[in-house]
Chain A
Amino acid sequence: MARRKIKVSKKTIFASLLMISVVLLLTPRRHTRILNDTFVRVTNPIVNKGPKTACGFLTLDFLNSKQFISKDIQKLNNDYLALKAAYGNAVADLRTANQQIEKLTKVKTSLPQPGPGLIFAEVTNASLTGTGRELLINKGAVAGVKKDQYVLAKDTIIGTIQDITQQTSRVRLVTDARHNIEIMFLHDEKAQPIRGQLFGQGTDSCDIPLIYKKNNLRFGDIVYAAAKQGFLYTPRVIGTVSMVHPSEKEPLLWDITVRPIHPANQITEVAIIVMDPDDIDG
């Protein structure tokens, strides 16, 4: 039996396709972003090859930007980042505890080290102009704050103490162009951590230069502030890798961009890490 051929007119085809397009256009982006998401994730390795310059094409950064995602997803994204920070800190604690256990099984230590204390403070002013990224807080020398102490906000390191007066202090954020801090990636519990320096860009993100490409780093990897004698007992989360691609100048190195978990303009309360709790006043 001969197959019956359905003949659809040009006008019908045009009208149907136009109708589909209009429906797609009127659909909120949260329902259609899966198509953009799929395209970017599938083609990212090919599309990212070559010199990077601004243009209207989709990137992973744009997909994660506030401009692209709805408020519900933004809230979920913030919750996810907070959980990721908590998880990262727990991993760092576990690693330190394991190292401590290893030491204790070999040598009986004398007295246990006192744990770090925290000084809680409120942000009274923020200076987020030019390439400077600083916060003014309402605790100073009287409360036991000292220069270079690490500052936490919502469980993540946001910067270090820069200047102190009797009653106030200035926190230089990790994104400040004048700020740099030792960082590490904790990929494998058994392997040595990957270490580097984090430099602020003077925008909302930071750079990590001089990391070799042999280190397997990916978008979303957690970046920790490395432990520092007298200032930080265990590594703490700073942010996540928002972009990683081969350096244009040095092909053997990565160009890594890091975005702090919490944007500076959302921080209202901070905690300063004091390694010797006896220093804390009151």
Chain B
Amino acid sequence: MRWFTFITILIIITVVNAANALNFIAVGPLNVRPDLLIITLVFFAVNSNSRDAIIASFLIGFAVDCSTTAPMGLYMICFGVTGAIASRMKREWFEEMIVSRFVIIFVISIAIHALAALIAPLNQDGNGTESINFLCLQSLYTALAGALLWYLFAAAAPIFGIERSRT
């Protein structure tokens, strides 16, 4: 993994993810937006070797903590643990069918939010999490966007020093 490139792209994705500009593609009265960092997590967890996947997952979680109202460390844990589990998944599941990609990203997104809701009370300054409706809709939108953006990530894979996937 080329870590300098990875961190640069991660910063760009974090800023885009937090930017109001993303509200142009927000849907519904709840203003649901896709979470680009979850898509990034799944891509790197699946395509890197498991050692790099673990480090990348914690770094992506750290980026989420810096850019959201969540307590620091919360999403580092959620992304780190989920990324470590996702790194054990077979790459073929993502490459063969768009539907399987959609389902897996959806499940990982839900798992991250469920884990976050579970451990958030550990921090005394926690702000609580979003409503279940919002999180489900956001996970759906993320999965849909992820299934499509996967091709873009796959095309960019060589610049991170990871082997280009077949998709």
Where the two chains meet, the residues of A that have a C-beta atom closer than 8 Å to any C-beta of B are 10, 13-14, 17-18, 20-29, 32, 35-36, 38-39, 43, 46-58, 62, 67-68, 70
Contact = CB atoms under 8 A, between A and B. Distances in A.
B69 interface: yes
Given A25-B123, A26-B122, A50 B55 contact: no
Contact of B19 (A22, A25, A47, A68): A47
Chain A binding surface SS class: helix
B1 interface: no
Contacts of A25: 71-74, 76-77, 119, 122-123
A21 B58 contact: yes
Contact of B31 (A10, A23, A55): A55
A50 B80 contact: no
A57 B72 contact: no
Chain B binding surface SS class: helix
Contacts of A10: 50-51, 54
B86 to A, nearest CB: 13
Interface stretch (B21-29, B89-97, B100-108): B21-29
B124 interface: yes
Contacts of B127: 67
A13 B119 CA distance: 21
Contact of A29 (B23, B71, B130): B71
A18 B77 contact: yes
Nearest to A29: B125
Contacts of B70: 56
Contact of A23 (B73, B74, B130): B73
Nearest to B31: A53
B145 to A, nearest CB: 16
A153 B38 CA distance: 49
A17 B54 contact: yes
Given A18-B81, A46-B19, A53 B26 contact: yes
A47 B18 contact: yes
Nearest to A30: B125
Interface stretch (B2-10, B60-68, B152-160): B60-68
Interface string B44-58: 000000110011001
A56 B69 contact: yes
Nearest to A51: B23
A29 B19 contact: no
B15 A22 contact: no
A48 to B, nearest CB: 6
B42 to A, nearest CB: 18
B72 A32 contact: yes
Contact of A13 (B31, B55, B66, B74): B55
A21 B69 contact: no
Shortest 10 CB-CB distances between A and B: which pairs? Answer: A24-B73, A25-B73, A50-B20, A50-B21, A21-B76, A29-B125, A32-B72, A17-B58, A57-B18, A39-B66
A123 to B, nearest CB: 32
Nearest to A54: B31
A58 B69 contact: yes
Given A10-B51, A17-B58, A24-B72, A35 B66 contact: yes
B90 to A, nearest CB: 18
Given A13-B51, A20-B58, A32-B71, 12 more contacts: A17-B76, A18-B58, A20-B73, A21-B76, A25-B72, A26-B73, A26-B123, A36-B72, A39-B66, A52-B23, A54-B31, A68-B69
Given A25-B74, A28-B125, A17 B19 contact: no
